[in-house]
Amino acid sequence: MKQIRTFLFTEAFRHFSPEGSAIDSVTRDAMKELLGGKGAGLAEMGASGVNVPPGLTITTTTCHEYYDQGGRLPDGLMEQVREKLAVVEGQLSRRLGDPSAPLLLSVRSGAKFSMPGMMDTILNLGLNDETVLGLAALSDTPEHRRFAWDSYRRFIQMFGNVVLDIEKEAFEHELSAVKAHAQVKLDSELGAEDFVSVVDRYKRLVREKTGGDFPQDTSEQLAMAIEAVFRSWNNPRAIFYRDLNKIDHDLGTAVTVQSMVFGNLDDKSGTGVCFTRNPATGARELYGEYLTRAQGEDVVAGIRTPRKIAELAQEMPAVNAELLETIARLEHHYRDLQDIEFTIEQGRLYILQTRSGKRNATSAVRVAVEMAQEGIITREEAIGRVDPRDLIQLLLPSFDIKAKARAKDDGRLLATGLNASPGAAIGEIVFDPDTAAERGARGDKVILVREETCPDDIHGMVPAQGIVTARGGMTSHAAVVARGMGKPCVAGCETFKIDVHARTLSVAGKVFRDGDVISIDGATGEIFAGSIDTAEIAGSEHLDLLLSWADELQGLGVRANADTPEDARLARDFGAVGIGLCRTEHMFMAQERLAVMQRMILADDKASRQAALDELLPMQRADFVGIFEAMDGLPVTIRLLDPPLHEFLPRLEELIEEVATLKAAIKYKRSGGRKAGSSNSTSKAPKLEVQLAERQALLAKVRDLSESNPMMGRRGCRLGLVDAEINVMQVRAIFEAACDVQSRGARVLPEIMIPLVGHVNELAFARAVLEKTALEVMSERGVNVEYKFGTMIEVPRAALTADEIAQHAEFFSFGTNDLTQMTFGFSRDDAEGKFLNHYLEGIDVLGEKKRVLKDNPFAQLDVGGVGKLMRLAADGGRSVRPGIKLGICGEHGGDPASIAFAYELGLNYVSCSPYRVPIARLAAAQARLSGGQRDR
């Protein structure tokens, strides 16, 4: 039986819905799986009565065959394509390659998930030296002749770049030469004879670059174009985009072959892109742009600055009315914000594509909430519509209003472009993506400034703080990509004069160079010289409402990692239901406390050590008072001192160098050495000797404490058992603070967490000592505090023996950072820079690049390994203590995929940094909505 590799748009929908009835989300997803998002959308639109140019789709499974056969089109594919194309030709009374009635085609990619601009497109396919004359002869007007030759030069340039791999700049150079000869600036000012000259130049360029003539056989053109689109699935920018957005590399792309309609035909023709709601703000308003006498790539490529869609009502009122009716129907049908591409040919509207529109977090939240309020979707669907990872965009800074006003008054406003993507960004100017990527990797804050961006620039757009383009509009590549990433972008800033070779930017009578600082406001399109102060995050009423709906569904609490009263208050403001990790070591890092801490570490006897601890006690107590007050009525999990003591001391290498320098200085002084004009050089020697003695004592202590593998050495509970007085001081400070705060009417719920336990006796012995201290303090103060003792599960042995450990633990908190480190045997501090990046990007295996790991296990929980240990620990703990409280306090607590696993495992809570609390709240609700089985 012949394998079906192609579907006409009309038959594709019937394949999935034989009765022609509306389809559900599962069927729609299956359509996208086979036909790609573009092909599925065209099939469904056509079935619903929308005016769609006819065409066919080649399936994603054919893409798999192409790669399985080593990059060769499957046998029989082109026969199927020609068979389906004959139906299209019959519908339109045009034929591919027929000079008397030429059919022109677009050949486009279309994966299951939208990847705007990442793969390749060819337009006007079917033109050659004969069909261009036939196309021109369809009308005897000079205007039509110009249109035909303009289309032919566009086809040669696009085919030459995409299929023949000739750089775009080479074609632009030839076009610029013709414009210079004609003494015009814009493509639209060229006439038919000018384009004939351009075509001649382009064909000569193809011959020079490839050694052969531009293909004249239209069937050959079609086969080459289809192969090029399949090939583009694995181009570098597409791979980078899929990695960035966690899209499966094995999905493949479909290819859509569609009859062309022409927006560059005359003044009643045009092309545009519009969104049914504003993708930057979410407002319920038509948003988009169009150009007359243009083809689709002109709008998004940034070559010309387009016109706002609102102007279409004045220029073509009938077309505008039809467009409004059509897009309303499409949004209602798909029940989501739609991104629609359209072409107008001599006053007739055609819809070329509709898909769920890319949007930033602000828009995603508002659209989801308002569509639920309008009854288009349910609250549960609204919760599922927002990617939790994108919520961080709502925490992007804006400029302080007064600081911005002062900048204007000071004459620092350089220009105002299009407000393509909101947010404020400050950084140093860079003019190319390679430099942006290089400096971004060093941690530099940069603003990428370009004439316009293209998909090849994506590796420089990712690390940039913001993006500025001199050309292009609200739906240009820069705008769409920046909005998707949540980066500020100002587009179409036409007063910018950029000299890429000199690396300068001229604007407002000033010249800026690589490395100069500018500030951009993506919400207003304003660009300023120098930096401007930013304001605190204002929040979003739509987000608050969405999260309140999410909280109603949660089966998983969300706590925060917070070490200070300020962090605790922020966490509570973000909706945290407690603190899941308070790291006490951070409280000792302040300069005045560090000196006391070092004195405690360097003490030669217990009395001296206890004196230092007594000095630290009120400092610790004050910290806990502030945290308990901020978290009134909510649990606070406090991890006792975890790192090794040498981390509070100077580094060994620095001390060795310092001691050597002091010895050299003393030797020089003793030798009578003096500088011109100095007093007796030996007078300072005694002071230097005192400093030397102090540093040598410190060096000896650091050497004594140093370990070959400190992460697995004398730290955590091991330190607490050997030097118990340190943890005793901490527990006393915790309970004194708890008693003080509770005596003032607040409710305090401390949870004492003993870290790095690997053996039940470590926890049993430590708890016995520390609980005795807690009881003593409560007895002294006459206050009873509700408390718990527990441990972190971060050592594999603890997970394996959790049933024993749970006899002495009232809660487990999975320290997934260290548990991942010890399970893999990876050093967190070294792995990512030394080998983990290669594991994730791919290593050479017999000439083929293969990835060892799909995801970074320090960013997304390794369910297959670390997750198995967690399940063992959870089951073991529940087997002896059914009500044991279980949570995660590693950074995985803010990762949506890891949260989904935590829900499945039946954990009580996850804990993450305060700014990730909204992300975790939404992800926890989505985990419940996913319907996964939950352990108990």
Neighbouring-strand partners of residue 791: 754, 812
Range in 22-36, 104-118, 295-309 the model is least confident about: 295-309
**How far from the centroid of its chain's Cα atoms is residue 854's Cα?**
16
User: Quick one: pLDDT at residue 536?
Assistant: 63
Closest CA to 362 of 490, 550, 537: 537
Q: How does residue 677 score in pLDDT terms, banded at 50, 70 and 90? A: very low
pLDDT at 863: 96
The CA distance from 520 to 488, in Å, is: 7
Q: What is the pLDDT of residues 397-448, one digit of tens each?
A: 788 878 998 999 999 999 998 888 878 999 999 999 999 999 998 999 999 9
The C-alpha torsion from 159 through 164 and 167 to 169, rounded to 10°, is: -40
| Exposure string over 489-516, b if 16+ CB within 10 A, otherwise e | bbbbbeebebeeeebbbebeeeebebee
In the residue annotation, 889 being an active-site residue is answered as yes
Q: Return the bridge partners of 254, or none.
A: 110
Which carries the bigger pLDDT value, residue 778 or residue 585? 778
Cα angle 93, 97, 103 (rounded to 5 degrees) comes to: 40
Question: 821 and 828 in contact (C-beta within 8 Å)?
Answer: yes
Q: For residue 749, what pLDDT band results from cuts at 50, 70 and 90?
A: very high
Higher per-residue pLDDT: 490 or 114: 490
Worst-scoring range by mean pLDDT, 93-97, 111-115, 296-300? 296-300
Among 63, 274, 454, 477, the one annotated catalytic: 477
Q: What is the DSSP string of 26-79?
A: HHHHHHHHHHHHHHHHHHHHHHTT-----EEEE-HHHHHHHHHTTS-PPTTHHH
Q: Tell me: pLDDT of 2 over 90.
A: no
pLDDT band at 1 (very low <50, low <70, confident <90, very high): low
The mean pLDDT of 338-344, rounded to a whole number, is: 93
For the question of residue 459 being annotated catalytic, the response is no
pLDDT at position 494, please?
84
Q: What is the dihedral of CA 120, 124, 125, 128, to 10 degrees?
A: -140
Percent of the chain, pLDDT > 70? Answer: 94
Average pLDDT of every residue of the chain? 90
Q: Give the Cα separation of 495 and 413 in Å (integer).
A: 12
d(CA 530, CA 523): 18
Residue 162 and residue 38: Cα distance in Å, rounded? 19
Digit-coded pLDDT (tens) for 860-890: 999 999 999 999 999 999 999 999 999 999 7
Q: Which amino acid is at 874?
A: A
Residue 879's contacts (CB-CB under 8 Å, 6 or more residues apart) are 803, 806
**Nearest CA-CA partner of 913 in 362, 400, 395, 387:** 395
What pLDDT is recorded for position 230? 96
Q: Which residue has the tokens 């603003």?
A: 447
Residue 819 · residue 799 · CB < 8 Å: yes
pLDDT band at 342 (very low <50, low <70, confident <90, very high): very high
Alpha helices (H) along 671-723: 685-705, 717-722
Tokens 């303009």 map to which residue? Answer: 150
Q: Which two tokens stand for residue 39?
A: 């092909």
Kindly write down the DSSP assignment for every residue of 734-800, as one continuous string: HHHHHHHHHHTT---EEEEEE-S--SHHHHHHHHHHHHHHHHHHHHHHT-----EEEEEE-SHHHHH
* pTM beyond cutoff 0.75: no
Q: Is the pLDDT at 700 greater than 80, yes or no?
A: yes
Q: Strand, coil or helix: what is 453?
A: coil
Residue with tokens 């669907």: 381
What's the average model confidence in pLDDT over 728-742? 97
CB atoms within 10 A of CB 14: 14
**What local confidence, expressed as pLDDT, does residue 492 receive?**
85
Which of 542, 889, 892, 912 is flagged as catalytic?
Answer: 889
Note the pLDDT tens digit of each residue in 501-516. 899 999 988 999 999 9
> HSE (CB half, 13 Å, CA atoms) of 35?
29
pLDDT band (50, 70, 90) for residue 40: very high
Please enumerate in sequence order all residues whose Cβ is within 8 A of that of 763, keeping only pairs 6 or more positions apart, or say none: 717, 754, 757, 791, 805, 808, 809
Q: DSSP H helical segments within 189-316, as ranges?
A: 192-210, 218-232, 236-245, 296-301, 312-315
879-936 pLDDT, tens digit per residue, is 999 999 999 997 799 899 999 999 999 999 999 988 889 999 999 999 999 876 677 6
Q: What is the average per-residue pLDDT within 462-467?
A: 94
Geometric angle at alpha carbon 201, from 125 and 232, rounded to 5°: 40
- Token pair listed for 837: 């990046």
Tell me, what's the pLDDT at 676? 44
Residue 459 neighbours by CB distance under 10 Å: 16
| Statement: residue 154 has pLDDT above 80 | yes
Could you tell me if 461 and 448 are in contact, meaning their C-beta atoms sit under 8 angstroms apart? Answer: yes
Using CA atoms, how far residue 505 sits from 130, 625, 694, 837, in Å, is 46, 54, 55, 35
Please identify which residue in the block is written with the tokens 């706002």.
308
CA dihedral 460→461→466→469, nearest 10 degrees, is 90
For range 629-657, the mean pLDDT: 88
- Identify the DSSP state of 102: B
Residue of higher predicted confidence among 594 and 97: 97
pLDDT above 80 for 710: no
Structure tokens at 601: 């570490």
For residues 99-112, give the mean pLDDT. 94
**Alpha carbon distance 623, 636 (integer Å):** 13
Please give the structure tokens belonging to residue 790. Answer: 């527990």
**Mean pLDDT, rounded, for 312-318:** 95
| Cβ contacts of 621 within 8 Å, gap of 6 or more | 733, 736, 737, 740
Residue 36 CA from chain centroid, whole number: 23
Answer whether residue 630 shows pLDDT above 90.
yes
Provide the pLDDT for residue 859.
84
